[in-house]
Structure 1
Amino acid sequence: MGHWLVIDLEATTEEGGWPLEEMEIIEIGAALVRANGQEVAHFQRFVRPLRRPHLTDFCRTLTRIDQASIDSAAPLNAVWPQFERWLHGHRPRLAGWASWGDYDRRQLQQDWQRLELASCLSQLPHLNLKRRFAEARRLPRPVGLNSALQLAGLPFSGQQHRALTDARNTARLLPLILPL
């Protein structure tokens, strides 16, 4: 069976949230895993937002990403090609990509279009693991990542709301969702 790429994004926001159109990616985390959830490789980069380069207090508190990390980061149109180069060597074994919920897919599609970026991910199937977990567990409605881990008897490992950590924790649920 092929590998899966689990992606998590952190983005600019304010308490109460912003519409997707106003959010910008500030961190990309991706864990390349086998179907059993075992990590094969990973990618993590900070991204400098262009429209609202100064993070809100809420965003800094939520993600624990400091302004200096964002100020010294490259914008998405420079970071995304780095991601694609990293992914290129793994592409032949890639079965698809996944995220917890649909936000990450929608944000990426919006930004690829806005910045005219190409991505091999657009040719691969995407799994909304939040929805698939709820279906697999016959839950009345989808739950957050931390709740899903608790239901699976797994503790959250690391700092929440950091892209690579969230991607790795999401990947731990993959074996419970994918048919083996």
Structure 2
Amino acid sequence: MGHWLVIDLEATTEEGGWPVEEMEIIEIGASLVRADGHEVDHFQRYVKPQRRPHLTQFCRELTHISQQAINSAAPLTSVWPQFERWLVSHQPHLQGWASWGAYDKRQLEQEWQRHELSSCLHDINHLNLKRRFSEERKLQQPVGLHTALQLAGLQFNGQQHRALTDARNTARLLPLILPLESHAKRMTQR
């Protein structure tokens, strides 16, 4: 049975939001799960932003990440290679990686380019669970993670807007979507 990697990022922001180009990763959370959503392993690290190392009050309140945690964190150029080393042992079993929406993928691609980092995730299929969930439920528009869990009859576990917690909650929705993915693949292979 293959594994899925569910990634969630927290990034610098201000009330009203910043464009993705202005945001920097401050926390990486990844939950490696089986197709049934059961966690096999996980990765979590804080990341020190380079352009705006001081978090806004809004960002600290939203994420519950302290300035002290960020001050003692390493920059992405040090953290990302740690992530890649962690992931390499799991790569042979990896079917794909997923996130709630397209933001996490776009943010990672932007940061890889900005810092000239390489990633094995480039060559692995990405699944936008937010879009797939809304398609499967025939929703008028995509919903947030908390609402999606409620629609699935699940409660959010833990503190929202923390990377590993959000990744783990996202992974709980994976079993509801993956049967559709494997069915769609079988239909296209006929």
Structure 1 length-normalised TM: 0.99
How big is each residue's C-alpha offset from its partner over 1:2-49, in whole Å with a ceiling of 9 and x where there is no partner?
100000000000000000000000000000000000000000000000
> What are the residue-to-residue correspondences of 1:53-72 with 2, within 5 Å?
53-72=53-72
SS at match of 2:5: strand
Distance 1:140 1:177 in 2: 18
Give the number of equivalent residue pairs.
180
Structure 2: tracts of 5 or more residues without a match: 183-190
Distance 1:169 1:160 in 2: 9
> What are the residue-to-residue correspondences of 1:60-139 with 2, within 5 Å?
60-139=60-139
> What are the residue-to-residue correspondences of 1:152-163 with 2, within 5 Å?
152-163=152-163
Deviation at 1:69, TM superposition (A): 0.2
Equivalent residue number for residue 171 of structure 1: 171
Distance 2:135 2:150 in 1: 16
Distance 1:10 1:97 in 2: 17
Structure 1: tracts of 5 or more residues without a match: none
Letter in 1 for 2:16: G
Distance 2:173 2:154 in 1: 9
Distance 1:97 1:109 in 2: 14
Distance 2:153 2:73 in 1: 37
Give the number of the structure whose alpha-carbon radius of gyration is greater: 2
Letter in 1 for 2:26: I
Letter in 1 for 2:93: R
Deviation at 1:101, TM superposition (A): 0.4
> What are the residue-to-residue correspondences of 1:13-92 with 2, within 5 Å?
13-92=13-92
Distance 1:115 1:66 in 2: 24
How big is each residue's C-alpha offset from its partner over 1:67-116, in whole Å with a ceiling of 9 and x where there is no partner?
00000000000000000000000000000100000000000000001111
SS at match of 1:83: helix
Paired-residue identity, %: 77
Distance 1:69 1:154 in 2: 31
Q: Does 1:144 align with 2:132?
A: no
Distance 1:134 1:2 in 2: 24
Distance 1:6 1:67 in 2: 26
Distance 1:126 1:178 in 2: 13
Distance 1:47 1:129 in 2: 25
Distance 1:56 1:116 in 2: 27
Deviation at 1:138, TM superposition (A): 0.8
How big is each residue's C-alpha offset from its partner over 1:149-168, in whole Å with a ceiling of 9 and x where there is no partner?
00000000000000000000
How big is each residue's C-alpha offset from its partner over 1:99-134, in whole Å with a ceiling of 9 and x where there is no partner?
000000000000001111000001000000000000
Distance 2:113 2:2 in 1: 28
